Amino acid sequence: MKTRLFTGKLFSLPISAAFVVLYVISLSCNSNHKQTELQQLLYDELSPDMPGIVAAIAGPDQKLFWAGAAGYADTITKEPLSPSNTFRIASVSKTFVAAAILRLWEQDKLRLDDPIALYISSLHSEILRNGGYNPDSITIRQLLNHTSGMADHTHSDRYTPEYMQERHVWTRTEQLEELVRLGKPLDKPGARFSYSDSGYVLLGEIIENLTGQPMGEAIDQLLMLKQLGIANTHMESPDGDFSGQRMHQYHNKIDTYNFHPSLDYFGGGGHLSTAADLAMFYNMLFNNRFFEYTSTLDTMLQPFSGKSPDALDYRYGIWKTEIGGVEAYTHTGFWGTQVAWFPDYKMAIAVNYSQRWANKGPAPIIEKIISKSL
């Protein structure tokens, strides 16, 4: 059963039967005044350098479900941005990838401390060995929490706006070749945290090899996204989504709309989504809607204890932090996306700026939304 509800400038929001009652209640509990306040926060974020923003809140305990948008989906045509517009979520895909790996673990298809050599192609194992990596020593767990010692292929000089404007079509193999071209491993496996898209490229391959499906289809089925109402989240079409639903996203004022999706397609990123889908996904994740066992979420949130303080308190496809002094579990995406779960308030907030916010740290709008919605 699915229902579609609108509140204020809300877009149509598919949800599972378990949340129908809460959505209905939200219509009477969310005052027009609060909706106006939240919408104004979005307008306040706009500037000549920030042409658009979308945001969504999923907080069943507060009976709060809201999504809004402000600005333009395309600065040339001046098409208004809608909460129903999709966007490239980039590294927020890692939360989906990690959850899918943990579903395979629940199904006894893999063990987290198995060496990755058991699950990746012989070609990719050879590429790693030639680059100084030992796939017999790197484990799936170490890929999940970025402790494999791998560098990051996206640090290559080919990952520049000028090169990406050429719409180069990447392959997973080519990205791994770029990884080893950059240099030797950063450290021994398990020694320290170092964020690596390359590790999640390998996790994407593991998902495909174990399921016999393309990564996007496998994630959808493993997590039952469509059945649970996460209906607008999917891997982008291999040559790009030009359906008109995807908003334009900018980097240093350069329109990235025509950048080929393969630059970030194989596990480190690749999904399109909406703010409402992302908020609902995090809400469901922390309410154990995707896993068979409640202990699996505990595994996903296990911290890593390294030799030295880490840049991020990274778990498996997600990290722990504070936003506005409030504990949160979160992930960001390069093009301007952030989604966060606040356990104290049992509430998820997802946002996408059409160009990544300028200040270091969390998306500024999230802290402002917290102050208005609690």
48 within a domain of the structure (yes/no): no
Round to whole Å and give the CA distance between 139 and 117: 9
20 within a domain of the structure (yes/no): no
Round to whole Å and give the CA distance between 90 and 73: 18
Residue 32 pLDDT = 79
Residue 308 pLDDT = 62
Instruction: List pLDDT tens digits, range 45-91.
Output: 999 999 999 999 999 877 789 999 999 999 999 999 999 999 999 99
- Half-sphere exposure of residue 65, counting CA atoms within 13 Å on the CB side? 27
Burial bucket for residue 163 (CB in 10 Å: 0-12, 13-18, 19+): middle
11 within a domain of the structure (yes/no): no
Q: Angle CA(345)–CA(329)–CA(237) in degrees, nearest 5?
A: 115
First to last CA, the chain: 29
Per this entry, what is the length of the chain?
A: 374
164 within a domain of the structure (yes/no): yes
Round to whole Å and give the CA distance between 349 and 301: 19
CB 300 within 8 A of CB 329: no
Q: Which of 127, 121, 170, 171 is nearest to 150 (CA)?
A: 127
Round to whole Å and give the CA distance between 197 and 57: 28
Give DSSP secondary structure letters for 268-312: SS-EEE-HHHHHHHHHHHTTTSS-SSHHHHHHHT-----SS--SS
Interstrand relation of 79-80 and 64-74 (parallel, antiparallel or unpaired):
antiparallel
362 within a domain of the structure (yes/no): no
Q: Supply the range of the domain harboring residue 297.
A: 89-244+253-319
Going residue by residue through the chain (374 aa), what tens digit of pLDDT does each one get? 222 222 333 333 333 333 322 333 343 345 677 889 999 999 999 999 999 999 999 998 777 899 999 999 999 999 999 999 999 999 999 999 999 999 999 999 999 999 999 999 999 999 999 999 999 999 999 999 999 999 999 999 999 989 999 999 999 999 999 999 999 999 999 999 999 999 999 999 999 999 999 999 999 999 999 999 999 999 999 999 999 999 999 999 899 999 999 999 999 999 999 999 999 999 999 999 999 999 999 999 999 987 666 789 999 999 999 999 999 999 999 999 999 999 999 999 999 999 999 888 999 999 999 887 66
Any idea what the CATH number is for the domain that residue 104 is in? 3.40.710.10
36 within a domain of the structure (yes/no): no
CB 202 within 8 A of CB 120: yes
44 within a domain of the structure (yes/no): no
Round to whole Å and give the CA distance between 250 and 356: 8
Alpha helices, DSSP H only, in the chain? 20-29, 32-45, 93-106, 122-130, 140-144, 161-164, 172-182, 197-211, 215-223, 275-285, 294-300, 364-373
Number of domains in the chain: 1
Residue 305 pLDDT = 83
Round to whole Å and give the CA distance between 266 and 175: 9
Residue 296 pLDDT = 98
Residue 307 pLDDT = 66
281 within a domain of the structure (yes/no): yes
Cα 262 to Cα 51, 161, 173, 307, distances in angstroms: 25, 14, 12, 35
